[in-house]
Structure 1
Amino acid sequence: MPKHTRAGALLAVALTGLTMALAAPATAAAEAPGFLTAADLPPHPTSSWTADKVTAGVPEETAWDTCLRALPGRAPAWHRDFRTDLDTNARQITLVLPDTRSAKQLTSWLDEDIESCPARIEQRDPDTEATGKDYGKLPVEEGARVHGVHTETSWGASDVRLLSVGRDGRTVTVVNWAGLGGFEGAPVKAFEKTTVEAVNKLH
């Protein structure tokens, strides 16, 4: 066989092998992990939850979320949005990392992002006062941690978020609940149950 023909054949074999190697992880991760349902969220006193479909990818607006800087640009990922008829909403974002080491690192980065978030909010907007709370770890699979972030503007707008980061093997999930008011009205205990359910449902 002529050299150029042989080289071409070897290159074709190499490229075919590379294509198969790259395609294998994508195929393995094509099926989304288990997600929360509307019934799993903290009960709303006057309104019921509605759940959107599970959608591939990290939502574009996450790029502007100073509390979750480590999320954008990572794949494979999926998310699901939840809402009520009032000013309360929630979202779950789940990512499958290449290995458990990468998943553990992302979990650590996300916890750090949320803990340092209030300082960045105040730096970005001096008219807003931001406070964070660490509600501690939850004993589920490889662990989960619950955080709270409260913001109040100079004109009196008060909002609170509950965020949790959990991991099961190489799968990481983030749950976000947001509503009006302060820490005193946030459904922390119910959100902890939601977080445990979210991690348990991953696999």
Structure 2
Amino acid sequence: MNTRTHIGRPGRIGLTVLTALATALPVALSSPAAAADGPPAFLSPAELPPHSSSPWYAGEVTAGVPDPLPFCYGEVLPGTTSRYREFWTEYDTNARQVTVVERDEAAATALAATLRDAVRGCAERTEQQNPEVEAESRYYGRVRVEEGARVYGVHTNHTVVGSSDVHLFSVGRDGRTVTVVHWGQLGDFRHAPVADFRKTTATAVGKLY
């Protein structure tokens, strides 16, 4: 039986994903020296891919990892150093940003690679864990910002229930800080705003410090 949930704020209509598989906004700082002493900034609702029928809304920046764990990459998040922010619309389109500050650049580089591997292997793991689900992944290339970011897509289709969800993920790094942005809604790859999501990714990584 397929249980459905959303990646956005509880109580809102949101993106459906398989829960069995997904087990104080910072103030902008004026100088690089000041930014290095404060937490990384997060996306604002207006910086997400535009929705045709709804504004975006956002929750507070929260310490820790989301519960349930995020689809595709949640199991590799370090809970003690993660912070996240949820976004949602009035329809089945939600998003999330998770940011991790590591002890040094080497650790951040390793974490970014681990997160990319988790997203790249998500479709295959999804099919292995649930035979009733068909999944496909796509790679949408690199975004040239700071130390770089990469964009991926994952489509899941539950062959029994008939639900179809499309997800976009990006993993980016600036120095010792890594961020993951996840957008999703009902639909398939035709409904994924890849160009706008790449712009969102560039903004997210550019705001880290």
The alignment's TM-score, normalised by the length of structure 2, stands at 0.79
Give, in whole Å, the separation in 1 of the partners of 2:180 and 2:53.
Answer: 25
Q: Say yes or no: does 1:58 pair with 2:65.
A: yes
Q: Say yes or no: does 1:38 pair with 2:38.
A: no
Q: Please report how far the alpha carbon of residue 101 of structure 1 lies from its aligned counterpart in structure 2 after TM superposition.
A: 0.3
Task: Name the residue aligned to 2:146.
Answer: 141
Give per-residue Cα distances to partners, 1:28-78, cap 9 Å, x unaligned. Answer: x9943110000000000111100111111111311x63434311x433221
Code of the aligned partner of 1:162: L
What number of residue pairs does the alignment pair up?
Answer: 174
Task: Show the 5 A alignment for 1:107-146.
Answer: 107-146=112-151
**Does structure 2 conserve the Cα–Cα contact (< 8 Å) formed by 1:119 and 1:130?**
yes
Task: Show the 5 A alignment for 1:161-176.
Answer: 161-176=167-182
Q: Say yes or no: does 1:49 pair with 2:92.
A: no
Unaligned runs of 5+ in 2: 1-35
Give per-residue Cα distances to partners, 1:150-182, cap 9 Å, x unaligned. Answer: 000113211000000000000000000010100
Give per-residue Cα distances to partners, 1:111-151, cap 9 Å, x unaligned. Answer: 11111110110011101000000101111000000000000
Q: Say yes or no: does 1:81 pair with 2:83.
A: no
Give, in whole Å, the separation in 1 of the partners of 2:63 and 2:38.
Answer: 10
The higher radius of gyration belongs to 1
Task: Name the residue aligned to 1:4.
Answer: none
Task: Name the residue aligned to 2:18.
Answer: none
Unaligned runs of 5+ in 1: 1-28
**Identity fraction in percent:** 50
- More helix by percentage: 1
Q: Secondary structure at the match of 1:166?
A: strand
User: Using a 3 Å threshold, how does the CA distance of structure 1 residues 180 and 99 change in structure 2: closer, same or farther?
Assistant: same
Q: Secondary structure at the match of 1:60?
A: coil
Match of 1:200 among 194, 198, 206: 206
